[in-house]
Amino acid sequence: MSKAFKFLYILIFLASFVSVEAGEEFVIEDIRVEGLKRITPGTVFNYLPMKVGDIFNDALSSDAVRTLFKTGFFDDVKVEKDGNDLVLVFKERPAIGTISLSGNEDIKTDELLDNLKQIGFAEGRVFLQSQLDMVKQELQRQYYSFGKYAAQITSTVTEIDNNRVAIAINVSEGLVAKIKKINIVGNNIFSEKKLLKEFKLSTPTMFSFFSKNDQYSKQKLSGDLESLRTYYLDRGYLNFTLDSTQVTITPDKKDIYITINITEGELYNVSVVKLGGDLTLPQNELLELILIKSGELFSRKKVTETTKNITDRLGEVGYSFANVNSIPDINKEDKTVSITFFVDPGKRVYVRRINFSGNSKTKDEVLRREMRQQEGAWISTKQVQRGKLRLQRTGFFKDVNVETPIIPGTSDQVDVNYAVEEAPGGQFGIGLGFSQSSGLILTTSLSQNNFLGSGNRVSFAFNNSEINSVYSIGYLNPYYTIDGISRGFNAFYKETDAFDANLAEFDSKNVGADVIFGIPISETNSVDTSLLYKKTEISLGGSASTQVRDFITLNGSEYDILSWNLGFSYDTRNKAILPDKGTYHRIATEVVLPVGSDVEYYKVNYETKWFKDIYEDYVLTLGADVGYGDAFGDTTELPFFENFYVGGPRSVRGYKENTIGPRDTSGRPLGGSTKIVGNAEVILPFPFLRDVKQARVTGFIDAGNVYGPDEDIEFDDIRYSSGISAIWVSPFGAISASYAVPFATKSTDQEQNFQFTFGTSF
């Protein structure tokens, strides 16, 4: 439509609403409004570009009508003259009386209505057909994003009382359109099957109901095309091109076909790798960070990682805004490329202040002592991130984020701002829990991991179950010295009914105390040592086994035990609770000292965990727990009440707790002096929970066994299980459940497929 035609149209439109004779001018003595029902006269006068005493003319009339229409309140506006009075006659647009939706399952009604309020489409607001059309278009777009291309949105507008309308939106969602076929055209070097393994999108598989990878998404396809480009560029095909992409849908809107046309190009080798710009650091040091070498096939991945390595290294010495660019020089004749990494370090940056927010309970000094970056010093991006990791590993916080904003008015100063979200540290309460091994558990506890925000741990507990009655009190100061040496004390009293714990028939009473010191050696290595005294009393049941009775006959039933414990840990895990990155190793020894002890023995235990990203949000976890114990001096064998046990939620799931391994003469599990346990788990994404940091679902394979002192370690005796498990660290305590299917079982094994524990407080 031409501009002239538009202008003529506007004039005709305005003229149809103006009843005052053209060219007639008069002084307005009064202004009256008619036809208003919901809108007040004051609202009209606020918008009206005229007042009593003004000279009325054509220009003012047109301006008034235009302004009043812009409010969106009116369907019709007329300007009339009554003597020297100006009369404005209105026909109001209806208001929205009700909004109802039907047929919508993927989009919740409450969420949609809340979003509509933000654009002014809500009950009580003026009804605009254009807004309703926009709502329908947006709904259609959202259903397209869900892969429901057959979705149909219809609406009905019904007049009701008081100049209002009822709006009914009906949704016919239809079925999700599935990807029927993905074709790659032009690939001669790599097979289509191999290339499609790089894609997130795929044709339907047995896991598609969970991953939704068979539902087309423009964003996912863009990501897959970039993955395809990366695949070729990482393998030397420097001039690879994506020629075109076609996405077609069948007439019934149920199947989608994707065709991708590519040109693979030719292989390129790297001829020369150089450094340029202001290197700042010694050239030899930077050359060691270059991953791509002369004579190799070109790889964009190695180029990108090299750029990151150099940038990170410069960031460690204060150049946090360093810029490193890779500049290729392509020789098409001999199919080679020379690469220059051009370094622009920028200004060296100081840290003005380190700030903390979100720690309403925890004292600043508790956070500050975990810092490795210092105020007033050059910034080190490595140390800034190390501070974040150390805060995460305290266990005091659900989440930790860090930012380094530049100080306004400067170019070489930043603040380091840590924002934390505090986790519940524990409190006094009465607890009720249940586990299949211990039965009903009544707990009274005062447990505060971050006592009064000091970072110290204080605990008192009374636990009573079918198996154990435990009274304990403990205190730990993780910064007993300014260098990070920790010191703790514990005292306890414990009664155990071993028979109810699936063990040999005996009861034990233990009372004791210990003092513990932890000594950091480096950021990842630490040593802990403790001195423990306990007094143990054993009571036998009427059908106690020969092994138990023989030990009591030789050594008595009461024992004073003074033991020295020493442990070494290597820990790079990213969090204290539910970690998903890093490695953990710990070797611990317990030696009962001959002086002051009635029995003499030692135990050595090695535990490890390893986490590795394998694909998107999937994380592989490998773990092992190996132990060995033996007696020395006048004691002939490891005391039966110190044996290792396997089976249950904490070792090999799918078997009753403690039931794997040797049996005594009564047929009860006896445990052993050697323990071997291993497991492999894949941490799975869990989209049904919002707070995924506090929950985890895994698929696992467990393996393990225990062996007596006279048994050879035979791997044919290893028990296995496979299944799925879930854990949720709720505000009421940890809730865990697993379902496992044992295999390679023996006739004496006791299976228990479903295992769970939970707790609550009131």
For residue 188, give the CATH number of its domain.
3.10.20.310
**Rounded mean pLDDT of the chain?**
85
Number of helical H runs and strand E runs in the chain: 13, 33
- Dump pLDDT digits (tens) for 78-137: 888 778 888 888 887 788 888 888 888 777 888 777 777 777 788 877 887 888 888 888
Residues 122 and 161 in one domain: yes
Tokens of 755: 């295992």
75, 92, 109 — which closes off a domain? 92
Quote the CA–CA distance of 29 and 26 in Å, as a whole number: 9
Q: Per the domain annotation, does 453 fall within a domain?
A: no
What confidence score (pLDDT) does residue 344 get? 95
Tokens of 618: 């999937």
Report which of residues 730 and 668 the model is more confident about. 668
Residues 621 and 698 in one domain: yes
Quote the CA–CA distance of 106 and 125 in Å, as a whole number: 26
Residues 624 and 756 in one domain: yes
Q: How many domains does the chain have?
A: 6
Q: Per the domain annotation, does 40 fall within a domain?
A: yes
Q: Per the domain annotation, does 446 fall within a domain?
A: no
- Ranking 28-42, 294-308, 417-431, 717-731 by mean pLDDT, the lowest is 417-431
β-partners of residue 531 are 515, 564
* Residues in CB range of 564: below 8 A, 6 or more apart: 529, 530, 531, 532, 590, 591, 593
Buried b (16+ CB within 10 A) or exposed e, 533-553: bbebebeeeeebbebbeebbe
Residues 561 and 416 in one domain: no
Tokens of 575: 């969090």
Complete DSSP assignment for 67-97: HHHHTT-EEEEEEEEETTEEEEEEEEPPEEE
pTM value surpassing 0.85: no
What confidence score (pLDDT) does residue 621 get? 95
Residues 497 and 372 in one domain: no
What confidence score (pLDDT) does residue 9 get? 41
Quote the CA–CA distance of 292 and 355 in Å, as a whole number: 40
Tokens of 19: 């009843």
Residues 366 and 323 in one domain: no
Residues 38 and 127 in one domain: no
Residue 5 predicted with pLDDT over 50: no
What confidence score (pLDDT) does residue 748 get? 85
Quote the CA–CA distance of 433 and 735 in Å, as a whole number: 10
- Ranking 502-511, 567-576, 631-640 by mean pLDDT, the lowest is 502-511
Quote the CA–CA distance of 416 and 431 in Å, as a whole number: 41
405, 422, 439 — which closes off a domain? 422
64 φ/ψ angles, rounded to the nearest 5 degrees: -65, -45
Tokens of 185: 């055209």
What confidence score (pLDDT) does residue 79 get? 81
Q: Is 171 helix (H, G, I), strand (E, B) or coil?
A: strand
- DSSP H or E stretch at residue 42: helix 41-47
Banded pLDDT at 733 (limits 50, 70, 90): low
Residues 295 and 217 in one domain: no
- Dump pLDDT digits (tens) for 15-60: 434 444 444 678 877 888 877 777 778 778 887 888 888 887 877 7
Q: Per the domain annotation, does 256 fall within a domain?
A: yes
- Ranking 279-293, 430-444, 583-597, 662-676 by mean pLDDT, the lowest is 430-444
Quote the CA–CA distance of 215 and 151 in Å, as a whole number: 15
What confidence score (pLDDT) does residue 692 get? 61
Residues 320 and 369 in one domain: no
Report which of residues 647 and 67 the model is more confident about. 647
Q: Per the domain annotation, does 619 fall within a domain?
A: yes
Contact (CB, 8 A) for 199 and 181: no
Q: Per the domain annotation, does 440 fall within a domain?
A: no
What confidence score (pLDDT) does residue 22 get? 45
Banded pLDDT at 458 (limits 50, 70, 90): confident
- Ranking 9-23, 488-502, 557-571 by mean pLDDT, the lowest is 9-23
Banded pLDDT at 425 (limits 50, 70, 90): low
- Ranking 4-8, 295-299, 322-326, 560-564 by mean pLDDT, the lowest is 4-8
Residues 183 and 223 in one domain: yes
Quote the CA–CA distance of 453 and 396 in Å, as a whole number: 9
Range of the domain at 195: 178-263
Q: Which of 217, 243, 214, 216 is nearest to 228 (CA)?
A: 243
Report which of residues 174 and 186 the model is more confident about. 186
Banded pLDDT at 252 (limits 50, 70, 90): confident
Quote the CA–CA distance of 196 and 579 in Å, as a whole number: 32
User: What number is the average pLDDT over the span 424-442?
Assistant: 48
Would the CA dihedral through 632, 633, 637, 640 be positive or negative? negative
41, 62, 92 — which closes off a domain? 92
**Looking at the chain, how many residues does it have?**
762
CATH of the domain at 531: 2.40.160.50
Q: Per the domain annotation, does 73 fall within a domain?
A: yes
Query: How many C-beta atoms surround the C-beta of residue 37 within 10 A?
Result: 11
Quote the CA–CA distance of 305 and 499 in Å, as a whole number: 58
Banded pLDDT at 761 (limits 50, 70, 90): very low
> How many CA atoms lie within 13 Å of 303's alpha carbon, on the beta-carbon side?
26
What confidence score (pLDDT) does residue 487 get? 96
383 φ/ψ angles, rounded to the nearest 5 degrees: -70, -35
Residue 282 predicted with pLDDT over 70: yes
β-partners of residue 237 are 267
- Dump pLDDT digits (tens) for 506-537: 889 999 999 999 999 998 999 999 999 999 99
Angle, helices 300-316 vs 381-393, to 10°: value is 90
Residue 481 predicted with pLDDT over 60: yes
What confidence score (pLDDT) does residue 6 get? 46
Residues 82 and 134 in one domain: no
Residue 584 predicted with pLDDT over 50: yes
Q: List C-alpha distances in Å: 530 to 488, 524, 638.
A: 9, 20, 21
Tokens of 481: 């010295």
Residues 74 and 13 in one domain: yes
Q: Per the domain annotation, does 434 fall within a domain?
A: no
Report which of residues 429 and 669 the model is more confident about. 669
